Structure 1
Amino acid sequence: RGLTSSSQRPREDSWLKSLFVRKVDPRKDAHSNLLAKRETSSLYKIQFHNVKPECLEAYNKICQEVLPKIHEDKHYPCTLVGTWNTWYGEQDQAVHLWRYEGGYPALTEVMNKLRENQEFLHFRKARSNMLLSRKNQLLLEFSFWNEPVPRPGPNIYELRSYQLRPGTMIEWGNYWARAIRFRQDGDEAVGGFFSQIGQLYMVHHLWAYKDLQTREDIRNAAWHKHGWEELVYYTVPLIQEMESRIMIPQKTSPLQ
């Protein structure tokens, strides 16, 4: 019972070695510079709003009235990437994803302008009365993921969030740079991000599917592709916690 087969031992040895081997040395550069897209300087913000159940309809209505105006106003260097309600997962929750073209200076510019926007100030006050809690994170985009662009619907979206063990972001990026090719056949890969401010060592993968059965079929098909099982085997030990949200886009979301 205490013996290990010879076929298992090389795989276990390679797994142990993978924890200590990096393709890039994190001491020579910041993780963000090694993993993020170099050709753009976009910063992303993801917001999670837990809404009072009796207020969800009113909350959605005011968001649909105000958020697109900021998105469409050329004076604000930001883009509303997507806005959703959680269908399966934490209930009565809204998720918003913004892109700031120009990084932190763009974020600061938008925040300063919104302080002078009376319609937004009224919106924020009305919104605060509808919320139980809220949190946000500032994110960068993985260099090997698709750029999230508007798409027609109808689709459902899955946000898979991973809390990684501290110090393992480089390994995660190395493995997923290879793993993403197994999940792009059906154009389901929307975007991949990692946190910079807020809850750290957080990764978010955003996927789009026609429906839940399509999601199941696509995910099952990945296991029949040579190499997918090995990549899952190596990345699972890097995770402390993980969460899956199935989300429905709001009417004004660019991602439908």
Structure 2
Amino acid sequence: MLNLRCALRSAALLRAPAAAAAQSGALPSSGLQPCAGLAIGPQQKQSTFYELRTYNIRPDQTAAFLKLTNEKIHLRTAHSELLGFWNVEYGAMNQVFHIWKYDSYSQRAGVRAAVAQDPSWVSDFLSKAIPMLTSQDNAVAYLVPWCTLRRPPQEGGVFELVSFRMRPGGPAVWGHSFQAALTSHDASGYGKLLGAFHNEYGQLNTVHALWWFENADKRAELRQKAHNDARVVAAVRESVAHLDSQTARLMYACPFSPMK
């Protein structure tokens, strides 16, 4: 977290020599040491990243797109690992969301080149699917350092993807409070946190939380309980101070999704 006192103290020390220099015409030498409180936080140590893809489908083509993907997705997963593929039920309409895993940027570049030259994928899926879409969006994200990717405790249920647009400054400013807000829900049983991701490319200062619930009604019940839990409310209140906006999507895993 940003050490505000340290920042103010450093600013005051910088102003004093500058004022003296202005009067004497000399440039002051500074013996100031970098303030540790201004560090940008822990660095990303793992090369593994996740591509988060969102496709918006023509309303009259949603069923056809899902059927085609169910039949032909094996042509794509032959090239790289698919973690999950979901149909969005609430929070957006005629939309699918999927997550792909890569070990490095060079691996992803190789996969994209191979996919583009795969005649079966191009003719059997891509040429048919593209006219069904209205737009595509992707982001590259890393798991936050304190989180590991988990799977649901059982198949079925519903998934919720909550995306937070944080104020500029990065995890050094809001990382601890964001972690406290998510873990207070997870540890108290108000949802099963499967993964928390921080955008590297795409909308910056954006983090995503992927949750699992037994069903939509259970999710609503747990959310109401969380609103009455003083520990959760306190943690969320601190995190919200760094928040610009957030969105939520409730999703169902497609039959061919590895995570379901």
TM-score (norm 1): 0.79
The correspondence of residues 230-245 of structure 1 with structure 2, limited to 5 A, is: 230-245=234-249
Aligned residues: 229
Match status 1:119 vs 2:120? yes
1:169 offset after TM fit, Å? 3.2
Per-residue CA deviations over 1:129-164 (Å, capped at 9, x if unaligned) read 001111111111112223143664211111111111
Q: 1:171 to 1:247 in 2, by over 3 A?
A: same
C-alpha distance 92-26 of structure 1, shift in aligned 2 (>3 A): farther
Does the 8 A contact of 1:168 with 1:238 survive in 2?
no
Name the counterpart of 2:160: 158
8 A Cα contact 2:56 2:96, kept in partner: yes
CA–CA distance in structure 1, aligned partners of residues 49 and 233 of structure 2:
32
Q: Which has the larger radius of gyration?
A: 2
Distance 1:25 1:242, change over 3 A: farther
How far, CA to CA, are the matches of 1:254 and 1:174 in structure 2? 31
Is residue 214 from structure 1 mapped to residue 215 from structure 2 by the alignment?
A: no
More helix by percentage? 2
Aligned to 2:95: 93
Matching residue of 1:201: 205
- The aligned residue for residue 137 of structure 2 is 135
TM-aligned CA deviation for residue 226 of structure 1:
5.0
2:25 match: none
What's the offset of the Cα at 1:26?
A: 8.8
- SS of 2:169's equivalent? coil
Q: Check whether the contact 1:81–1:148 (CA below 8 A) recurs between aligned residues.
A: no
After superposition, the C-alpha distances for 1:224-245 in whole angstroms (9 at most, x for unaligned) are 5553222211111211111111
Q: 1:151 to 1:68 in 2, by over 3 A?
A: farther
Which 5+ residue runs of structure 1 have no aligned equivalent? 1-16
Counterpart CA distance in 2 for 1:247 and 1:206 is 10
Cross-structure match for 1:108:
109
1:191 corresponds, among 185, 192, 195, to 195
Q: d(CA) in 1 for partners of 2:121 and 2:217?
A: 39
Cα deviation for residue 28 of structure 1 reads 5.0
Q: Tell me the amino acid that sits aligned with residue 218 of structure 1.
A: L
User: Secondary structure at 1:227's aligned position in 2?
Assistant: helix
Say if 1:151 and 1:254, in contact at 8 Å, map to a contact too: no
TM-score normalised per structure 2: 0.78
Do the aligned residues in 1 keep the contact of 2:184 with 2:235 (CA within 8 Å)? no
Could you say what secondary structure the match of 1:44 adopts? strand
Pairing 1:55–2:56 present: no
Partner residue of 1:172?
A: 174
Equivalent in the alignment of 1:252: 256
- Worse overlay, 208-217 or 240-249: 208-217
CA gap of 1:21–1:42, structure 2 versus 1, over 3 A, is farther
SS in 2 for 1:129: helix
Task: Provide closer, same or farther for how the CA distance between residues 224 and 63 of structure 1 changes in structure 2, counting only shifts above 3 A.
Answer: same
Letter in 2 for 1:182: S
1:13-63, Cα deviation, whole Å (9 max, x unpaired): xxxx978489x969656x6x53x4x3x421101111110011111111222
2:207 is paired with a residue of what secondary structure?
strand
Identity level (%): 23
Cα 1:18–1:217, aligned 2, differ >3 Å: closer, same or farther? farther
CA distance in structure 2 between the partners assigned to 1:202 and 1:179 by the alignment: 15
